[in-house]
């Protein structure tokens, strides 16, 4: 077999000779296009690895007519759920030869519109979007040439035209409420994150994203099933910040008859609730039980360890990329997926005690 010269980078022809295939076959195997048997692809990839061959992405994109980039529009990059999802997106896309461009919107619809426009102008091959609105979606039904497919991550919208990858948050919220009730709680509150309020409110705003509606409706259905009251005095819809959640939770816990359990719908809500409870002298797992959506890195080291609704964040990100790549290859391909979440029970939920 012919060795690549030692004094310069390996060329495509060097890989082809090492793998004993034609130059065209080597290009198809490395570029991920055309018909190549799996055995041949593996042989070419092994030869490329041995020779430390690097694909010329510019030449590859010019041949395929693609930029080999995916745009990701995320609602809150500071939230550990989205950080973990982006990591999975990057790893999965990289394995398929794609790079990622990430833009953050702070759940602002105008920022989202601008982000989508900018990424299309950058000629990304597809978009993964965490939508800021349930119904303001005209910018997501992309009319461009070439067509740019879109997959929604974590949230659905009011359209059958846009595919999505989400979790069954309605079922997960219901399971959390039933777990509180099984432990003996009857006064159960909700601390709900939403960008639809500037501060906080005891009632749900008119325009919330699908995850907010699913979690609240799942909790309310469980309350009705169990014959429990869903009192506004124990519920707050909060702008997604720790400080505002802290203030709202303080108001809840200083009410004449505070709840003995709280379901917090994201990381910021959980941190705000825990901070307020600590300041007011409520012992978690004793005076106040809590379940939070998502397995943030700190939930295991908090004492007592926090019960959580654990969503398969890495799988969500990877599945969104896999679905988008199929749509890039075939613009008629349609599919959406709803993944299951898991209630992880830890010591932050115990039987209520009188205060």
Q: Are residues 46 and 110 in the same domain?
A: no
For 248-277, write each residue's pLDDT tens digit. Answer: 999 999 999 999 999 999 999 999 999 999
- For residue 18, give its domain range: 12-63
Question: What pTM did the predictor assign?
Answer: 0.80
Taking 70 as the pLDDT cut, the residues of the chain under it are: 1-8, 32-34, 55-65, 143-146, 354-355
- Containing 102, the helix (H) or strand (E) segment is strand 99-104
Q: Is residue 7 one of the residues assigned to a domain?
A: no
Q: Is residue 3 one of the residues assigned to a domain?
A: no
Q: Are residues 305 and 178 in the same domain?
A: yes
DSSP codes of every residue in 16-71: HHHHTS-HHHHHHHHHT-S---HHHHHHHHHHHHHTT----HHHHHHHHT---EEE
Q: Are residues 246 and 291 in the same domain?
A: yes
Q: What is the total count of domains within the chain?
A: 3
Q: Is residue 162 one of the residues assigned to a domain?
A: yes
The CATH number of residue 46's host domain is 1.10.260.40
Q: Is residue 96 one of the residues assigned to a domain?
A: yes
Distance CA 180, CA 176 (A): 6
Q: Are residues 81 and 112 in the same domain?
A: yes
Which of 50, 44, 46 shows the shortest CA–CA distance to 10?
A: 50
Distance CA 255, CA 189 (A): 12
Cβ count within 10 A of residue 221: 15
Q: Are residues 178 and 297 in the same domain?
A: yes
Q: Is residue 5 one of the residues assigned to a domain?
A: no
Q: Are residues 59 and 128 in the same domain?
A: no
The CATH number of residue 144's host domain is 3.40.50.2300
Q: Are residues 302 and 176 in the same domain?
A: yes
Q: Is residue 289 one of the residues assigned to a domain?
A: yes
Q: Is residue 258 one of the residues assigned to a domain?
A: yes
Q: Are residues 304 and 174 in the same domain?
A: yes
Task: Give residue 145's pLDDT.
Answer: 57
Task: Give residue 1's pLDDT.
Answer: 43
Q: Are residues 174 and 99 in the same domain?
A: no
Q: Is residue 113 one of the residues assigned to a domain?
A: yes
Q: Are residues 237 and 334 in the same domain?
A: no
Q: Are the beta carbons of 44 and 22 closer than 8 angstroms?
A: no
What's the token pair of residue 303? Answer: 């004492």
- Containing 242, the helix (H) or strand (E) segment is helix 242-253
């Amino acid at each position: 077999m012919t060795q690549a010269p030692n004094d310069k980078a390996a060329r495509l022809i060097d890989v082809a000779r090492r793998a004993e295939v034609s130059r065209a076959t080597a290009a198809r195997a490395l570029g991920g296009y055309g018909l190549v048997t799996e055995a041949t692809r593996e042989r070419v990839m092994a030869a490329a690895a041995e020779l430390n061959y690097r694909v010329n992405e510019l030449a590859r994109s010019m041949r395929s007519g693609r930029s080999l980039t995916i745009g990701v529009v995320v609602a809150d990059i500071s939230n550990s759920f989205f950080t973990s999802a982006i990591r999975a997106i990057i790893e999965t896309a990289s394995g398929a030869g794609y790079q990622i461009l990430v833009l953050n919107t702070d759940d602002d619809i105008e920022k989202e519109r601008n982000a989508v426009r900018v990424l299309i102008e950058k000629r990304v091959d597809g978009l993964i979007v965490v939508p800021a609105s349930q119904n303001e979606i005209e910018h997501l039904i992309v009319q461009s040439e070439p067509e740019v497919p879109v997959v929604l991550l974590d949230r659905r919208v009011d359209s059958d035209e846009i595919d999505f990858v989400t979790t069954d948050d309605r079922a997960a919220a219901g399971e959390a409420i039933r777990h509180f009730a099984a432990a003996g709680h009857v006064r159960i509150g909700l601390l709900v994150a939403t960008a639809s309020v500037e501060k906080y409110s005891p009632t749900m705003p008119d325009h919330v994203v699908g995850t907010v509606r699913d979690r609240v409706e799942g909790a309310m259905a469980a309350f009705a099933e169990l014959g429990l009251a869903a009192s506004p005095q124990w519920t707050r819809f909060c702008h997604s910040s720790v400080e505002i959640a802290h203030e709202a939770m303080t108001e809840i816990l200083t009410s004449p008859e505070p709840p003995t359990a709280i379901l917090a719908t994201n990381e910021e809500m959980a941190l705000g609730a825990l901070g307020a409870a600590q300041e007011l002298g409520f012992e978690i797992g004793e005076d106040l039980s809590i379940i939070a959506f998502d397995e943030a890195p700190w939930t295991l080291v908090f004492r007592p360890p926090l019960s959580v609704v654990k969503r398969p964040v890495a799988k969500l990100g990877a599945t969104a990329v896999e679905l988008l790549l199929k749509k890039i290859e075939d613009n008629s391909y349609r599919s959406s997926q709803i993944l299951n979440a898991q209630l992880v029970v830890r010591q932050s939920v115990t039987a209520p005690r009188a205060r």
